[in-house]
Amino acid sequence: MEMEKNSFSGGRRYRNNEITVYWKPDACVHASYCYRELIEVFDPGRRPWVDMNGATTERIIEVVNMCPTEALTWKWNDESKNREISADHTNHVIFRRPELLEETEPIGQVNPVSVKIMTDGPIIIKGDFTFSYSGNKKEMNHGIISLCRCGASNQMPFCDGTHRKIGFEDK
């Protein structure tokens, strides 16, 4: 069966004349950088939810690079430009600014866990830790979890994006 033009295995893609943005919904932890930074392009309430005409390519790249998972990635439509990036120690599909990759410095001999309180959104926990919830116990190595903070998720204890629908706000 022929794949839909704007689909790829695991997600959807959106193009302008310079870049293609890839969206993998299964990887999304609802960190919500994308729509908080650039609702003109990334609007979860709109279909399709990505509008590549909503901002400059430069700005779209900047916001895609903020995504803490691989839910949003991008590459140049011009393959030769992607090869230039790869030579710069980055993958052309999962290209991120290097300064965004390492978020925590070791404290003594231990790599700390990074706990991020997202604006009116979930708790994003990254790193090496033992994670326990409702009788489950998991060893997380370079793991990432996103925990509901609004109290309304349908996938407790994890965030499922409901905070946006109910208008959850930190006060």
144 near other proteins (CB under 8 A): no
126, 102 contact by CB (below 8 A): no
In the set 30, 75, 92, 149, which binds other proteins (CB under 8 A)? 149
Residue 56 contacts other proteins per CB under 8 A: no
Q: Indicate whether 115 belongs to the interface with other proteins (CB under 8 A).
A: yes
Q: Which residue has the tokens 């689909």?
A: 7
**Residues facing 58 on adjacent strands:** none
CB of 145 to other proteins, least distance (A): 7
Is 69 near other proteins (CB under 8 A)?
Answer: no
Binding-site member from 27, 39, 144, 147 for other proteins (CB under 8 A): 147
CA–CA gap between residue 105 and residue 170 (Å, rounded): 28
How far is Cα 121 from Cα 67, in angstroms, rounded to an integer?
14
The H-or-E segment that residue 162 falls in is helix 162-166
Out of 112, 144, 160, 164, point to the residue binding other proteins (CB under 8 A). 112
CA distance 159 to 131: 15
Q: In this complex, which beta carbon is closest to other proteins, that of residue 50 or of residue 145?
A: 145
Q: HSE of 65 in the Cβ direction (CA atoms, 13 Å)?
A: 17
CB of 115 to other proteins, least distance (A): 5
Which residues contact other proteins by CB under 8 A?
A: 103-104, 106-120, 123, 125, 127-134, 140, 145, 147-152, 157, 168, 170-171
